[in-house]
């Protein structure tokens, strides 16, 4: 049984991965993972959709996922790790539990899902890990979130090298701002308020699928992203952070 596994499938970029992968490829099943079961049950695809309502900050969710894999022994052709969220405020403005929970989901869960899934992957299998533009630079007031995304970029690129001999590809998807429900959670006050260009999930996922075909280990979508990347390469991080704070009118 050939399957795709997509976390964060109940909205935004994860949901768009379901649509575009389903249109591009035949799977026997698409396993969709997030907490909101009702959203997962609404997903329509040409392949059979298996909704798995799992909170990926809970160890029991990984145990359940592993148990299902053991029982059904599928071939995982594609894994998309898109579950994630951010809080945009000063480090000390939110309780420690919130900061740690972000690390738990954005970095730890992505690592666990990848580790568990790899046993069921073969040559030709692909892993898409959701990073961000903040993967490439430190970002004051999006501090912990950006650090979790730096982890995703580093982890994905190094794992891509490690898995080359198995013919498995790993890519970090690093978009600029994307119009999704992400902002409902991320924005808690007006500390971060200047977003400039906002892309659609459709653009970001289409670019990611294209970049995977080209064998890239990172996907950057759109001109703004590419210009930002160039700027970060040319300038010291201290200056990049100064510019960012100025854009947000943070003194």
Q: Is 87 a catalytic residue?
A: no
By CB under 6 A, name the binding residues for ligand NAP: 7-8, 10-14, 34-36, 39, 55-57, 82-86, 105, 130, 132, 175, 177-178, 180-182
Least Cβ distance, residue 211 to ligand NAP (angstroms)? 15
Contact, 173 vs 130, CB < 8 A?
Answer: yes
Instruction: Kindly name the residue from 87, 128, 141, 145 that is annotated as catalytic.
Output: 145
Altogether, the residues listed in the chain come to a count of: 251
Encoded tokens for 66: 């592993």
Taking the least distance from each CB to ligand NAP, the nearer of 3 and 204 is: 204
- Cα distances from 65 to residues 32, 90, 153, in angstroms, run 11, 35, 24
Taking the least distance from each CB to ligand NAP, the nearer of 36 and 242 is: 36
- Rounded to whole angstroms, the Cα distance separating 137 from 59 reads 30
Contact, 180 vs 138, CB < 8 A?
Answer: no
Least Cβ distance, residue 167 to ligand NAP (angstroms)? 26
Q: Provide the β-strand partners of residue 156.
A: none
Least Cβ distance, residue 163 to ligand NAP (angstroms)? 21
Catalytic site positions: 145
């Amino acid at each position: 049984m050939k399957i795709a596994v997509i976390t964060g499938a109940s909205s935004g970029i994860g949901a768009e991965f379901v649509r575009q992968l389903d249109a591009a490829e035949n799977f026997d099943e698409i396993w969709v993972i997030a907490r909101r079961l009702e959203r997962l049950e609404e997903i329509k695809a040409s392949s059979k959709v298996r909704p798995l309502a799992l909170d990926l900050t809970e160890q029991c969710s990984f145990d359940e996922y592993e148990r299902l894999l053991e029982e059904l022994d599928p071939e995982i052709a594609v894994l998309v790790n898109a579950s994630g969220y951010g809080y945009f405020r000063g480090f000390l403005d939110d309780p420690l539990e919130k900061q740690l929970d972000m690390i738990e989901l954005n970095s730890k869960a992505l690592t666990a899902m990848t580790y568990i899934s790899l046993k069921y992957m073969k040559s030709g299998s692909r892993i898409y890990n959701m990073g961000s533009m903040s993967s490439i630079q430190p970002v004051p007031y999006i501090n912990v979130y950006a650090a979790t995304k730096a982890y995703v970029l580093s982890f994905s690129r190094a794992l891509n090298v490690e898995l080359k001999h198995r013919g498995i590809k790993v890519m970090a998807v690093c978009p600029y701002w994307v119009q999704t429900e992400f902002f409902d959670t991320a924005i808690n006050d007006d500390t971060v308020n200047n977003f400039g260009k906002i892309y659609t999930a459709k653009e970001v996922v289409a670019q990611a699928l294209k970049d995977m075909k080209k064998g890239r280990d990172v996907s950057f979508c759109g001109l703004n992203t590419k210009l930002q990347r160039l700027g970060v390469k040319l300038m010291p991080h201290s200056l990049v952070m100064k510019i960012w704070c100025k854009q947000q009118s943070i003194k």
